[in-house]
Chain A
Amino acid sequence: MFRSMFRKASPSFERARFQAAPRSSCIKRALPAVALLASAAALPFVAPAQQPTPANVTADLPAGAMQAKATATCLECHEARIILQQRLSKAAWAKEVDKMTKWGAVVDPADRDALIDYLSTNFNPDKPAYEPQRTTDKNGAGRASK
């Protein structure tokens, strides 16, 4: 079920996680463990069953010459909403891009300035506030409130 969630959430995500974190290559092995947890709901130390997640959960980066490259570079590790909600100066975006590059984002040095331009053009302090979405526990599958 995790496998299908990741695949639907982002086609590149599963691949990215195999590359990025060796531990996550245990996805296949994790499945029986998750099933075990779900079936043992009466035991004291057991996580609640995780539900399959529908596909329409992702957001996209805005159109532009750097959209494809930014998507490939940034969304390997996190989703678009983390970018969509920022309202930063160009200098602050430059710091973020350089920090993320240090943390493993693959940015061709020839693309660095264009990427910073793309981010600061779309997500600067003059842009209207980001309107976040809300979650819904559609099937009432959440744990009972206490």
Chain B
Amino acid sequence: MKSRREFLKQVSKAALVARVAPGMLSWALPQGQSIPFPGEDGMILRSFRFVDLETPVEYFNTWLTPVPHFFVRNHMHEPIELDAGNWRLSIGGEVEKPLTLNLSELSRFESHSIVNTLECAGNGRSLQRPQVPGIQWGKGAVGTAPFSGLRLRDVLQRAGVKPTGKHVMFRGLDEVPGKVPPFIRSIPIEKALDADTLIATQMNGSPLTKHHGFPARALVPGWIGAASCKWLTEIKVLDAEFVGNFMSPGYRFPNQPVKPGDAVRPEDTHPLTALNVKSVISGPVDGSSLKAGKVVVRGAAWAGEADIVKVEISADDGATWDTAKLGHDRAHYAWRLWSYDWKPAKAGNYTLQSRATDSQGRTQPAAPVWNPSGYLNNAVDQVNVHVS
């Protein structure tokens, strides 16, 4: 185990190096365990084929997540053929005037940027007990980046949404294996017409990389990552929610608390939309050995469409909570970094916990709210540390 000083020194070194050459971060990797992966560095490999990569929590020390450290979630294979010149986006369904746009035409719409915290609905699934099937994400299927492009609203308004248009469906160019249902989902028209819902073509100031949906993706701010369809190729206005695997039974949450083994009827569930309130401790990392004295506990907290109002830290199993200091960087849909100066009274083993509260009055629960697909685990975060 590293001492706190070594840890912080390495983290700050890493932050410095990350701006220059992400490839030099290999100090963080267990020897002989790393898998070469161009453009993705130090990421936790949940799956190589198809690609699912998780960000180690210790990377959450910058407000914006560098692209090589941004989690990647794919439900199936990435498109093999991606030719920017031939790429087209069709807009149809319940509209007056169906459109087909190429990238050059998209770029003529007014541009708009938002900073968004994107989180996979299954982030934290592996921490549920009993475990449920799916990618066994730890705490790092989340990241924050500026996204820019055009407003979905502007495209829909040009096409002219009919009064019958109630939902907006996105289809991506994912390569579908076998008889797997295609990855198609829809969002309600109100969210589609929100001024901050984008057809994004850029992330962190550069064109989207292939893993993040080049050349264009939906970006539905504050909502579960699955709403923000990558490799977008078709937008269809529907008179009802899209019917398909990734709307039901996928990405739904029970209306009432359920226990493991309970049969949950589809009509007793609702589709996942906005993210809930959550925090993560980025340092010290779980299992750290620290020297007595001042310890800076750091992390990030986010709340989907709501704002973080408070992050509290406990070092005594939740008996008492102290307020952490929130970072200056903020944006409507983005996380807040936070820090807390902890002075452990004596040597020993401690559990550090973080608990966020948002502007809707929501607070993280003490334990995961178990559900059959392991979605939206927003339990109070905790790490175990030893102080000598």
Seen from chain A, the residues whose Cβ lies within 8 Å of a Cβ on chain B are 2, 9-10, 13, 16-17, 20-21, 23-24, 26-27, 29-30, 33-34, 36-37, 43-48, 50-51, 53-54, 56-58, 76-79, 81-82, 85-89, 92, 95-96, 102-105, 125, 130, 132-146
Give Cα distance in the complex from A37 to B35, angstroms.
25
Q: Does B50 reach chain A (CB closer than 8 Å)? A: yes
Q: Tell me which residues across on chain A come within 8 A of B19, comparing CB atoms.
A: 144-145
Q: Does B258 reach chain A (CB closer than 8 Å)? A: no
Contact B35 A140 (CB under 8 A): no
Contact B177 A135 (CB under 8 A): no
Contact B179 A103 (CB under 8 A): yes
Contact B178 A92 (CB under 8 A): no
- Cross-chain contact of B83 among A24, A33, A44, A95 (Cβ < 8 A): A33
Q: Does B11 reach chain A (CB closer than 8 Å)? A: no
Contact A134 B33 (CB under 8 A): yes
**Sample of 9 further A-B pairs with CB below 8 A, known A47-B210, A134-B45:** A9-B48, A45-B214, A57-B36, A79-B49, A133-B35, A134-B30, A137-B23, A138-B23, A145-B68
Name 14 interchain pairs, CB-CB below 8 A, sorted by A: A23-B175, A33-B82, A46-B84, A54-B36, A58-B48, A76-B178, A82-B135, A92-B132, A104-B179, A133-B35, A134-B43, A137-B39, A143-B206, A146-B206
Q: Tell me which residues across on chain A come within 8 A of B53, comparing CB atoms.
A: 135
Contact B47 A78 (CB under 8 A): yes
Q: Does B225 reach chain A (CB closer than 8 Å)? A: no
Contact B179 A102 (CB under 8 A): yes
Q: Does B255 reach chain A (CB closer than 8 Å)? A: no
Contact A145 B18 (CB under 8 A): yes
Contact B210 A36 (CB under 8 A): no
Residue of B nearest to A136 (CB): B34
Residue of A nearest to B260 (CB): A89
Contact B68 A137 (CB under 8 A): yes
- Cross-chain contact of A20 among B43, B45, B177, B208 (Cβ < 8 A): B177
How many residues of chain B get a CB closer than 8 Å to chain A's CBs? 70
- Cross-chain contact of B46 among A85, A87, A92, A143 (Cβ < 8 A): A85
Give Cα distance in the complex from A89 to B64, angstroms.
39
Query: Quick one: CB contact mask for B63-100 with A, threshold 8 Å, 1 for yes?
Result: 01011110000000100111111100000000000000
Q: Tell me which residues across on chain B come within 8 A of A48, comparing CB atoms.
A: 39, 209-210
Q: Does B103 reach chain A (CB closer than 8 Å)? A: yes
With known contacts A88-B133, A137-B23, A143–B33 Cβ distance under 8 A: no
Residue of B nearest to A23 (CB): B175
Q: Tell me which residues across on chain B come within 8 A of A104, comparing CB atoms.
A: 177-180
Contact B180 A142 (CB under 8 A): no
Q: Does B131 reach chain A (CB closer than 8 Å)? A: yes
Main secondary structure of the interface of A (DSSP, over half): loop
Q: Does B40 reach chain A (CB closer than 8 Å)? A: yes
With known contacts A104-B179, A134-B29, A143–B39 Cβ distance under 8 A: yes
B76 → chain A closest CB, angstroms: 8
Q: Does B28 reach chain A (CB closer than 8 Å)? A: yes
Contact A142 B38 (CB under 8 A): yes
Q: Does B347 reach chain A (CB closer than 8 Å)? A: no
With known contacts A44-B107, A135-B42, A140-B22, A30–B80 Cβ distance under 8 A: yes
Contact B83 A136 (CB under 8 A): no
Contact A77 B178 (CB under 8 A): yes
Closest 3 pairs between A and B when the two form their complex, measured CB to CB:
A104-B178, A140-B23, A145-B66
B65 → chain A closest CB, angstroms: 9
- Cross-chain contact of A135 among B41, B64, B85, B214 (Cβ < 8 A): B41
Q: Does B150 reach chain A (CB closer than 8 Å)? A: no
